[in-house]
Each structure stands twice: as structure tokens, then as C-alpha cells.
Chain A
Amino acid sequence: MKHFEYFSAHSAEEAVALLQKYSPDALPIAGGTELLVRMKQNLIHPKVLVDITHVPEFQGIALTEEGLRIGSLVTHAEVAASPLVRQFAPAVAAASGSVGAVQTRNLGTLGGNLVSCVPSIDSAPALLVLEAQAVVFGVNGRRQFPLTELFVGPRCSSLTPAELLEAVIIPRHNLGKPTCFSKFGRRKALTIALVNAAACVETNPERTHFSQVRLALGAVAPTPIRAYTAEAYLAGRPIAQEVLLEAGRLAAEDAKPIDDFRASAEYRRHLIGVLTRRVIEGALAGMPKV
């Protein structure tokens, strides 16, 4: 790796001040599992790294008035093992539990995953279907916006160079709703998703019709996306195989998968159909019996 200067920040203010001071040559580093790999591959050469792992404000998982707050520095291992996340947002726990391998999950953070804005990031779909909010800390203080607005394009977030993701908040009204995450890669473990998907499903009390379904997909467009056409189609429809098939077809239209060295666009469209069904069925299966 090329030489760089290293600073460790001990508060959010200190971190953004350092980033501001050395902008545009500085980058924050959390787990480093994304950043260091890119530096080693000679793709980027930041002159300054600001280690944010000791920033207290960005830690911890807590139930607040607003909802379930997960600090950006919480590792995937911690998200996956958290009783709070498992209870109130099981798909989020499952998504983090699917990232890389044990070693990757012990280092990699939720914040690093989201801010990297790689289209295949596993933590995005589940958070999107739960309408998570992003809390961002910058020189002018905090701002909060829907997580969807964080994703601008492949490896491109809406944060300015001196802004940091502090936490994500899953709003209270969505806590405990039936969700499911599913990922399909070339191998069963330690694999980048060819397609990943999550659903949050609500039905009528008789469990015969969908009332509202939120569906999100990854690795099929420049950013993780919500499949709005498929969602609109599902609202009010009966819970039936044909309906799920059609939803899968519509979801593939919502997405813009591309051919790359991992999979062809055509294969990805097929996978979207399969995963759409899987996550909806998975969320239904997780519901208490009628």
C-alpha cells in the first residue's frame, strides 16, 4: 500500500474537522474491508485516512423514540447477533449475517457498507423496505433523510467529503413487520450478490390478500432500488403463485440489470423473479399463524 497520513478521531466533530481540513485528499476509514482493498488494488490513493472507529456517537444499537437506531460503526457481526435487530428487523440481521465471512463481518461496518454505495451491498435492501432514515453528521451539524437518497450511483453517495454517516434509524411504525432478505451469489458463502432482495409484507387479517408490500433489490441497477411497479401491482392482490410470478416479472422491469463478469443481465432478470418470490414467501412464512 502507498503511504498515507493517519489520524484517529475521538468525536464526530473532530472527525469531520479532520476531513474538512484535508479535503479532498482525506477519506474516513471504518472497518477498512472495502477501503483498504481498493487502496491495495491501486484504485484509490487517499493521502489521509481518518479513523472513525473511536467516535462514540456512531456506536451502538438502541431503541429510541424514533425507532431502532443502528450506529454506523456497528459491525455486521454485531448487527447479525443483536437481539434488538433480530426481533424488530430480522431481515436486517439476516442481511448483515450474509456479508462476506466471519472475519469480514467482525471488521466491516454497516455504515461502511452503505456509504460504499456498491450496487450489490447486502445491507441496503432490507433497510430500504423498512423505510430507514440516514442520520448524517457534518460541519453544520446533523441532517436526516430517507436512506434511498444516500445512493446516487455505483460507488457514489450523496455525502459531501466532510460528512459522515452517523446512524440509520428504522422508523418505529415499521418495527417488527414481517420481512425477509435473500441473496444469490456464485457460492454459498463469502460471495458478492448476483442479486439480493428484501421484502416487507403486510396482508389483510384473513391473510388472503396483500395489503402493502415493499420490495427492494440490489446488484441489478446503479444503486440498490425499490421495485415500485411490482409493489403497486401487489397491493390488494390475492396471495397466489401467479401474482408472485407477475410481481417478479414487474420487478425485473423495475431493475436495470447489466451484463458483467459475474452474470448476464438475462440471468439476473431470472434471479430477480426467483428472489422476489422467495422474499415475499419468506416474509409470509415468518408471520404469526392466522
Chain B
Amino acid sequence: MERDVIRKVPLVKPGEPGMIVEEAPTEELAGYPSVGRRIPRRDTIFQVLGQLKYINDLSFPGMLYAKVLRSRYAHARILRVDVSKALEVPGVVAAITADDIPVNSFGPSLQDQPVLAKDKVRHMGDGIAAVAAVSEQIAEEALEKIVVEYEPLPVVLDPLEAMREDAPRIHEPRSNIYWEWHIRKGDVEKALAEAHLVVQERYRTQMVEHVSMETHSSIAMWDAGGRLTVWCTVGRITLARTDLARILQVPVSRVRVVSTQLGGNFGGKNEITIEPVLAILAKKTGRPVKGTYSRKEEFIASTTRHPFIMEYTSGVTAEGRIIARKVRLIADGGAYCSWSETTLGKATILSAGPYDIPNIALDGYVVYTNKPMTGAMRGFGAPQVCFAYESHMDTIAHRLGMDPLQIRLLNAYDEGSISATGQILHSVALKKTLLAAAERFGWEVKER
């Protein structure tokens, strides 16, 4: 690797050029050069000079390029995979299938995802085989020579359908509902029966891909001592390291994962994707192997944001106090768990909203469908439920003929409020924030 010219970036002191002082720091912050001020980031200069190396900017002598054959079907049994014709393509150095993978499963909470699919594919992003060749172009051409025999299976795309007992099972024999969260506080049915008004609504959100400008990219290389180094666009290097060690059946101490500046993550680069494939190809060939996702793979073979179906039922008094809230969340969990457990957990916990409600029943479900994986994305489920409960609050206000701000102030968490999960809350600035915001954007004027 060529060494870049490194510009020495001195520590910027207050008042020096290069520092944009926004507000005069208070006396007590005077000793802290960067608190209360805006200073340019240290690495920016290298980014704007085009010198900062992202993973795909790195290369090593003798490096090979890997490509993964993705499924032709959203749901199918794999009857046969034959890579022999791909190996005959000049420039192809190695090809692997599920049989080459020591432990063919991974995942941050449920290890339900194969590195390469063996008996069946569960969505079109599933990899079935991979090749390493002297160029990306040759690797791509070789993929076309791989023979896969499929037996298509019924496809389930709708999470409500997938929840039904008679739905085709995506991870048979397990149910398609693969994680649940249930939270109870007080007696919600009783409170609903006593309510002045009961408002019931259903909200849905769509699938979202992170579309970071940089696609996933990694390089795997083994040294003579049997140690693996993986340069990758994974934001969680320790998780990547343990996953890799488990898949490859090598001690964690033999695996080194190097990440650098990512060209956008947004939660989409929170787990390994092709790294184990590259590691196995690198081992097989004795050469460094690079794999970079195409933009299309980014959409089908990386995680996305969960689409949610959110059913809300709230009981209110005539004055606008919410006395009961029942929520049923159904997250479309795609073909594999990924960060669904975390996402559903966060969504369920937050689904009642930042409101002091004495009687709460929250149920969250995440279900398998034959769609791209759903995982972490900015907020882990919080944005979806926020959209639902805040829209729901507006409906309630409207039905009561109340000001939407007033109904929020009336119900909002305060210092010492107890959340749905029993947590006692401190430093609660919600009402203050609402009032400040209302003043800044002229809520009252707008209302009139």
C-alpha cells in the first residue's frame, strides 16, 4: 500500500484559526478546548483531498475478487449445486459452496442465517456459492456457469399471512413468529371499559434500505502463522470477530478485524455479510480476497428497516387523560433475524410513547417472510412506533376536540414518571422541550 502524505494536524486551541467559535464558552468550560465550540474534524482534510482510504480503496498484491451467486427464488429447496463449470473459466481460482463452511450459521441474536444456503433459500439475497477470480468481471462471468437446481416453495411476503398457523414455514419446523415481547402494567381491559372514549387505529410503515453511499466491501487475508485479518466495512468489529471465529472454527485470538472510516453505515453495516466467504476463499487460494457488494446486492442481500404493522387502542377520559393503551406490533422480519430481537424490543418498550399511562398492554411480534433481512437502522424500531403513537395522539386530540399540544402536555412523562417497563425516569425534559419547541415555531399562531 502506498503511504499517503500525512498533514500534521495540530491540536487546535481556542481562538486559533481553524476553530469556529460559535458561542463564548462559559467560565467553567474555559479549560475545555472543545466543549461549547465547533471545531473541524481531524480526518476531514484527508477526505476532501481524496486521500482517506475506505475499504474498497485498499488492495494487496495478488489479490483476488469474489462474487456470490444469489438465489433465483425467494423460497426454494436447493436440490443440487455444481460449481465445476465455474472452475473451468480461465482466471477463476476457487469456488465454494455451503459444504466448505465449517459452521454454517451466524447472527447477532439468533444464529439462523447461513453463510451460504445449503438445503434451501429463504429470500432472493441468499448466497448459494461463491467464486474467487483474478478480476471481478471474471468472477461475475463464472457465476453464470454455476448450476443450481431448485424446487420452488410457496412464498410468504405478508407478515400477517406468515403468522397464520397454516402458513408455509420459512425455518421449519419453527413457527414464523420468531420473537415476541410482552409488557403489562395495570389492568388495561378494565380501564378501557371505563374510558370516556376509546380510539382504535392501525398504522403501517414500509421497508427502507440504508443506501449508504459506500457499499459493503471487505478483504480477507491469512498470514503464514494461520492468522486471519479482515478489513471490512463492519461497524461492530468485535461482533464480526466472534462470528468469524465461530464460523471458521478458529480461536478468536487468530482473527483480526480492521475497520476504518465507513462511507455511511446507518445500522446497515452492523454485522458480517460476505466476510466468512472471503476468509474461506482466501484460505483455499492462499491469496488475499476482496468482495464488494454491487448496489443491487446492497438492496437484496443486506439488512433493511423493518416494515411495521402497528395497532393502537387507547382509552381516554373526557378531559384528555389517557388511562389505557393497548399496542400490537407486527414487524416484518424478513428471512433472518439479524437485529430483529433488539429492534422489536426497543419498539415494544417505546411503543406506548413518552406518556404517563397507568394501564398498558404492549405486544410485539416479529415474523419471518421471504423478503430481504430486516435489521438495525437508525433508531432500531423507535421511528416506526413514534410515527404511530404521535399520529394516534393527534387522532385522539381531534376526536376530543382538544389542542394536540395540550393533550401531550397533559399526558407527558415528568420527573419521576414510571415507564411501561417500571423504570423510574429522571432528567425528564419533555414538557419543557415541547413548550420551547411550540414557542419557537409559533404553535399558537399556527393553530389560530
Chain A contact residues, CB within 8 Å of chain B: 1-3
Docked complex Cα distance between A40 and B141 (Å): 12
Cβ contacts A to B, 4 pairs, < 8 Å: A1-B137, A2-B137, A2-B141, A3-B137
Interface bits B203-218 vs A (CB < 8 Å: 1, else 0): 0000000000000000
Q: Chain B residue with minimal CB distance to A2?
A: B141
Interface bits B133-169 vs A (CB < 8 Å: 1, else 0): 0000100010000000000000000000000000000
Docked complex Cα distance between A172 and B5 (Å): 60
Residues of B within 8 Å of A1, CB to CB, are: 137
Residues of A within 8 Å of B141, CB to CB, are: 2
Docked complex Cα distance between A1 and B141 (Å): 9
4 smallest A-B Cβ distances: which pairs?
A2-B141, A1-B137, A2-B137, A3-B137
| Nearest chain A CB to B358 CB, angstrom units | 45
Q: Chain B residue with minimal CB distance to A40?
A: B294
Residues of A within 8 Å of B137, CB to CB, are: 1-3
| Nearest chain B CB to A232 CB, angstrom units | 43
| Nearest chain A CB to B59 CB, angstrom units | 20
Q: Chain A residue with minimal CB distance to B296?
A: A41
CB contact list, B95-149 vs A, under 8 A? 137, 141
| Nearest chain B CB to A81 CB, angstrom units | 29
Docked complex Cα distance between A1 and B135 (Å): 12
Docked complex Cα distance between A8 and B102 (Å): 52
Docked complex Cα distance between A2 and B141 (Å): 8
Docked complex Cα distance between A2 and B138 (Å): 9
Q: Chain A residue with minimal CB distance to B144?
A: A42
Q: Chain A residue with minimal CB distance to B294?
A: A40
Residues of B within 8 Å of A3, CB to CB, are: 137
Docked complex Cα distance between A21 and B141 (Å): 27
Docked complex Cα distance between A177 and B137 (Å): 51
| Nearest chain A CB to B145 CB, angstrom units | 13
Q: Chain A residue with minimal CB distance to B141?
A: A2
Q: Chain B residue with minimal CB distance to A3?
A: B137
Docked complex Cα distance between A269 and B137 (Å): 43
Docked complex Cα distance between A2 and B144 (Å): 12
Docked complex Cα distance between A1 and B137 (Å): 7
| Nearest chain A CB to B211 CB, angstrom units | 14
Residues of B within 8 Å of A2, CB to CB, are: 137, 141
| Nearest chain B CB to A34 CB, angstrom units | 17
| Nearest chain A CB to B33 CB, angstrom units | 41
Docked complex Cα distance between A2 and B137 (Å): 7
Docked complex Cα distance between A193 and B438 (Å): 39
| Nearest chain B CB to A37 CB, angstrom units | 11
Docked complex Cα distance between A278 and B137 (Å): 48
| Nearest chain A CB to B364 CB, angstrom units | 30
Docked complex Cα distance between A3 and B141 (Å): 10
| Nearest chain B CB to A20 CB, angstrom units | 29
| Nearest chain A CB to B392 CB, angstrom units | 28
Docked complex Cα distance between A2 and B89 (Å): 14
Docked complex Cα distance between A3 and B91 (Å): 14
| Nearest chain B CB to A39 CB, angstrom units | 12
Docked complex Cα distance between A15 and B137 (Å): 28
| Nearest chain A CB to B131 CB, angstrom units | 16
| Nearest chain B CB to A274 CB, angstrom units | 26
Docked complex Cα distance between A2 and B143 (Å): 13
Docked complex Cα distance between A1 and B138 (Å): 10
Docked complex Cα distance between A37 and B264 (Å): 24
| Nearest chain B CB to A105 CB, angstrom units | 22
Docked complex Cα distance between A1 and B294 (Å): 12
CB contact list, B257-283 vs A, under 8 A? none
Docked complex Cα distance between A288 and B303 (Å): 57
| Nearest chain B CB to A119 CB, angstrom units | 23
